[in-house]
């Protein structure tokens, strides 16, 4: 089995995996970083969203062989101490119901806010529409993105 060198949350890891293994399962099964969630496996729900070189990306569609030398950030690495404005906002607004999709939601929001730090509601809704929340905590997700934006500014 091929060996890959990955840089996840600022740390180097060596993993042995088939070249077509999605990064999602490398993170979860090989590296024991289970914060990134499996929802659909086809890039439709956003539960597995991570950052690749700062951009929100679906880790279920990203083969391990494609990401060597790239900077991977997962929910575990969004901050060292839950201090990222998005994490703080999610807590303040008490967004989660079941909470399963929220890592993906937060990673989408964090990447979006680096592109647009002062979004209006419509821009937030567009940006977050790739992430499904089956509990439909959408009103609070919208609010939390607003709160996070205000913390960033």
Partner 1 sequence: MKNNISPSFSRRSFIKTSALAGGGMLIGFNLFQSCKSEVTPPVDISQLNFNDFNAFIKIADNGMVTIFSPNPEIGQGVKTSMPMLIAEELDVSWENVHVEQGALDTKNFTRQVAGGSQSIRHGWEPLRQTGATARQMLINAAATQWGVNASECKTENGVISNANGDKLGYGEVVKVAATLEVPENVTLKDPKNFNVIGKDIPNVDIDKITTGKPLYGLDYKEEGMVYASVLRPPSFGQKLVDFDDTNTKVVSGVKDVVKFGDKVAVLASSTWAAMKGKKALDANWTSDSKLESTEEHDKILKDLLEGSEFNTLRADGDVKKAFAEADQVIERTYESPFLPHNCMEPMNFFADVTPEKVRLVGPIQTPAKTAKIVADLLERDVEDVSVEMTRMGGGFGRRLYRDFVLEAAEISKISQKPIKLIYSREDDMLAGTYRPAIKYKISASVKDSKITGYHLKEASVNSNMYGLIPNFFPAGAVENYQVDVANYESKITTGAWRAPYTNFLSFAEQSFFDELAEVLEVDRIQLRLDLLQKVKGTTDERIQYSPERLENVIKVAVDKSGWNTKKEGVYQGFSAYYCHNTHVAEVADVVLDNDIPVVKKVTCVVDCGIVVNPLGAKNQIEGGVIDGVGHAMYGDFTFKDGTPQDKNFNTYRLIRINETPVVETHFIENDIAPTGLGEPTLPPAGAAVANAIKAAKGIRLYKQPFIKYMNTKAPLG
For binding to partner 1 (CB under 8 A), which residues are involved?
1, 17-18, 20-22, 25, 28-30, 32-42, 44-45, 47, 74-76, 78, 82, 87, 90-91, 94, 96-103, 106, 124-126, 128-129, 131-142
Task: Kindly state the smallest distance separating residue 63's Cβ from partner 1, in Å.
Answer: 10
Quick one: 72 or 75, whose CB is closer to partner 1? Answer: 75
Task: Kindly state the smallest distance separating residue 51's Cβ from partner 1, in Å.
Answer: 13
Nearest to 131 by CA among 87, 86, 110, 101: 101
Quick one: 17 or 52, whose CB is closer to partner 1? Answer: 17
Quick one: 4 or 90, whose CB is closer to partner 1? Answer: 90
What is the spatial distance between Cα 97 and Cα 61, in angstroms, rounded to a whole number?
Answer: 26
Let me know the angle formed at the C-alpha of 71 by 67 and 73, rounded to the nearest 5 degrees: 105
Q: Which residues pair with 12 in a beta bridge?
A: 7
Assess contact for 114 and 60: CB atoms under 8 A: no
Task: Kindly state the smallest distance separating residue 80's Cβ from partner 1, in Å.
Answer: 10
Nearest to 72 by CA among 30, 18, 126, 39: 30
C-alpha gyration radius of the chain:
15
Task: Kindly state the smallest distance separating residue 125's Cβ from partner 1, in Å.
Answer: 4
What is the spatial distance between Cα 98 and Cα 137, in angstroms, rounded to a whole number?
Answer: 9
Task: Kindly state the smallest distance separating residue 53's Cβ from partner 1, in Å.
Answer: 20
């Amino acid at each position: 089995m091929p060996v890959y060198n990955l840089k996840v949350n600022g740390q180097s890891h060596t993993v042995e995996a088939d070249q077509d293994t999605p990064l999602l399962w490398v993170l979860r099964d090989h590296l024991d970083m289970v914060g990134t969630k499996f929802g659909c496996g086809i890039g439709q729900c956003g539960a597995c969203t991570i950052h690749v070189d700062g951009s929100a990306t679906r880790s279920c569609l990203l083969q391990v062989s494609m990401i060597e030398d790239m900077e991977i950030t997962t929910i575990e690495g969004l901050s060292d101490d839950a201090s990222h404005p998005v994490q703080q906002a999610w807590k303040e607004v008490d967004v989660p119901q079941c909470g399963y999709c929220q890592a993906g939601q937060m990673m989408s929001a964090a990447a979006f806010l680096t592109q647009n730090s002062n979004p209006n509601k419509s821009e937030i809704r567009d940006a977050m529409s790739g992430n499904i929340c089956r509990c439909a905590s959408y009103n609070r997700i919208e609010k939390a993105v607003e709160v996070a934006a205000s913390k960033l500014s």
